[in-house]
Structures are given as C-alpha cells and as structure tokens.
C-alpha cells in the first residue's frame, strides 16, 4: 500500500467564494442589495478572503446581478472588508466602465470551450469573445485591475455533450496570453469525474503555469469534492466554492449548485489543509442565506450540523 495516498495535498488552499455571484444569479428572485451586502459581510467575517460579489453583465440577461454597481459602492464603505479581495464578472466594455465607476479592483472575463454555450451565454462565438476579451483585458490592466479568465464547459457542455480537452487548453492559453492573472477552469454542468478533471488540469498545466490555474466545480453529479481533490493532487491551489452549495448558470440548463464551501472546508481542514475559514460561522451563514432565498442547503456539512442541532 502507498504510504500516503494523498501526498500531493498542500498545507493550505485559497478558496474563492462565488456564492454572492454564481449562487444568487441562479435564484428566481433578485435579492435586495442590503441582503447581498450582508452576505458578503458574513462570508468575510467567516474568514473568506476572496469573494466574487457580483456581475456587471446586461441586466436584461441576468436581472439578479442588476444592482452590482450599488452593491460594490456599499461594500467599499465597509472597514471590516479591508484585506478582502472582492471581484466581479465583466463581459464587455460597458461592464468594465460600470465596474470602474463602482471602484472594483478585480474583474473576471468568462469564455467557454464550447461554441454553443459561448453563443448562449455571451451571444458571441468563442473567437469573437476572445477578441473582445483581448481588448477588455488590456483596458482593465491599463486601469490597474487584476483580471481572472474563466473557461466554461471544461468537461462537458449542456448543448454539445463532450468537449475536447484540446479546446479547453486553447481557450485557457489564449486567456493567459492576453494577460489574465488566473485561469479558472469551470466544470459548468458538473459532469466531470476525477480522472477526467485531472487530465484537463494536466493538459492546461502544459500551457499555463499550474500556479495560475483554479478549479470552479459545479456539483450536479455529486463529483465536485472528489474532483477538487483530484485537482489538488495535480497541483491546483485555488478552488472556487459557494456557500450552502448555491449556484448554477441561467444559460446551462440542468446545472445545479457549486461545490459547497462548507463541504470543501470540512474536507480540507479535516485533512490538515488550512483554509482560514471558521466552519461554524460559515454554516451559520449558509443557513441564513438559504433561509433568505427559500432553499434547503445542499451542503452535506450544513445538513449534518442542522440535524445534529435538532436532536
């Protein structure tokens, strides 16, 4: 037997909390800005140091993110958020203008490895979106902003099925070359399995330094935690997750929540990997936000803790 089958695990991992964006964009009703501010505040108090808080996309496409301007202005005034990296999605020049006016310092552009998903999500082909992002990333960097680049559909597409890994590498490489500081590989519909995700990560790491890769895993098929572990074994050190297991993409039918932050923190801390997150405070935040949006959390840790409290 191998002495330590998880020898590749690091001492610490950086978690990017995407609940306020990926989670809330998928809810039927838009949450008032006040509640979105409170969510970010609670997540930061639980120890999360990177939070994707909103999106400067078209409100006609995703109304739930409409008031991100006001959200960021309000967040900028909170002293307890000093030292927390807040970011937002930006799809085009109009979005960059709005982000800049709201005082955002980190943005994310979002491309895809599937042609049909790219059309549905951005109304543009992969090539058109990359050309648009090239200008956008240059303009953002000129303004001193840090830019992350997402690649959606790294393991499967809701419209096209299998997605060739070579296409994922191509898009990841293009985003890296144009100046994205981090490339987030998104299993948008959660169909990937650990060996598949490991294959994609290794292939991308041949094009982009592995230290610049992050994994953004949806849990539709219950694989996200296992896939996160596979990513860590391949050298990934940045993982996205959403409180309560909220999440999904309005343009990816059937895509359910993200890897739940509570489950990720429980697995990592239990395995001796530091996250800086206070699990009790996080579980409390999950209960609170799920109550606000009228959902039962899908995070197993929160369900288990809630059941234990009820006994």
| Gyration radius from the chain CA atoms | 18
Q: Which does 72 bind (CB under 5 to 8 A by kind): Mg ion, ligand HMG, none?
A: none
* Piece in contact with ligand HMG (CB under 6 A), picked from 70-78, 120-128, 273-281, 298-306: 120-128
Residue 162 CB neighbours (<10 A): 11
Kind and range of the H or E run holding 282: helix 279-293
Q: Is 22 in the site for Mg ion (CB under 5 A)?
A: yes
**Would you call 124 helix, strand, or coil by DSSP?**
coil
Told to judge if 249 belongs to the known catalytic residues of this protein, a careful annotator would answer yes
Cβ nearer to Mg ion, comparing 154 with 268: 154
Candidates 50, 106, 110, 229: give the one binding ligand HMG (CB under 6 A).
Answer: 110
CB 215 within 8 A of CB 197: yes
Mention every residue, 6+ apart, whose C-beta is less than 8 A from residue 131: none
Candidates 10, 38, 61, 146: give the one binding ligand HMG (CB under 6 A).
Answer: 61
Question: What number of chain residues touch Mg ion (CB under 5 A)?
Answer: 1
For the bound state, the minimum distance from the C-beta of residue 95 to ligand HMG, rounded and expressed in Å, comes to: 3
For the bound state, the minimum distance from the C-beta of residue 68 to ligand HMG, rounded and expressed in Å, comes to: 9
Question: How far is the C-alpha of 56 from the C-alpha of 221, rounded, in Å?
Answer: 29
Give 3-state DSSP helix, strand, coil % of the chain, rounded to 5.
45, 15, 35
Cβ nearer to ligand HMG, comparing 42 with 216: 216
Which among 153, 180, 234, 249 is annotated as catalytic? 249
Residues in the chain, how many? 311
- Of 185, 253, 187, which Cα lies nearest the Cα of 218? 187
Q: Which does 179 bind (CB under 5 to 8 A by kind): ligand HMG, Mg ion, none?
A: none
Q: How many CA atoms lie within 13 A of 264 on its CB side?
A: 37
For the bound state, the minimum distance from the C-beta of residue 90 to ligand HMG, rounded and expressed in Å, comes to: 7
Which segments of 8-59 does DSSP mark as H helices, in order? Answer: 33-45
Q: Is 217 in the site for ligand HMG (CB under 6 A)?
A: no
Cβ nearer to ligand HMG, comparing 57 with 267: 57
Q: Is 74 in the site for ligand HMG (CB under 6 A)?
A: no
Where in the sequence numbering do the catalytic residues fall?
A: 249
Q: Which residue ranges make up the site for Mg ion (CB under 5 A)?
A: 22
């Amino acid at each position: 037997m191998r002495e330590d089958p998880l020898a590749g695990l690091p001492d610490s991992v950086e978690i990017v909390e995407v609940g306020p964006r990926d989670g809330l964009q998928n809810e039927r009703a838009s949450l008032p800005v006040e509640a979105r501010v409170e969510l970010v505040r609670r997540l930061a108090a639980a120890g999360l140091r990177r939070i994707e808080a909103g999106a400067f996309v078209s409100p006609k496409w995703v109304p739930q993110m409409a008031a991100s301007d006001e959200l960021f202005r309000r967040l900028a005034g909170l002293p307890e958020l000093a030292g927390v990296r807040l970011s937002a999605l930006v799809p085009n020049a109009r979005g960059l203008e709005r982000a800049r006016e709201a005082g955002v310092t980190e943005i994310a552009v979002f491309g895809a490895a599937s042609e049909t998903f790219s059309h549905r999500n951005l109304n543009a082909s992969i090539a058109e979106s990359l050309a648009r992002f090239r200008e956008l990333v240059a303009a953002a960097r000129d303004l001193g902003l840090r830019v992350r680049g997402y690649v959606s559909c790294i393991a499967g597409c809701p419209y096209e099925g299998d997605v060739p890994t070579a296409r994922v590498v191509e898009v990841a490489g293009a985003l890296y070359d144009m100046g994205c500081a981090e490339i987030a590989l998104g299993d948008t519909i959660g169909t990937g399995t650990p060996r598949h995700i490991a294959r994609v990560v290794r292939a991308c790491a041949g094009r982009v330094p592995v230290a610049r890769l992050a994994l953004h895993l949806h849990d539709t098929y219950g694989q996200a935690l296992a896939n996160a572990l596979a990513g860590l074994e391949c050298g990934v050190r940045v993982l996205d997750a959403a409180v309560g297991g909220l999440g999904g993409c309005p343009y990816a039918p059937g895509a359910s929540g993200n890897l739940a932050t509570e489950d990720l923190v429980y697995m990592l801390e239990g395995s001796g990997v530091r996250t800086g997150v206070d699990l009790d405070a996080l579980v409390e935040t999950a209960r609170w936000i799920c109550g606000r949006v009228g959902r039962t959390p899908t995070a197993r840790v929160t369900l288990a803790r809630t059941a234990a409290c009820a006994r």
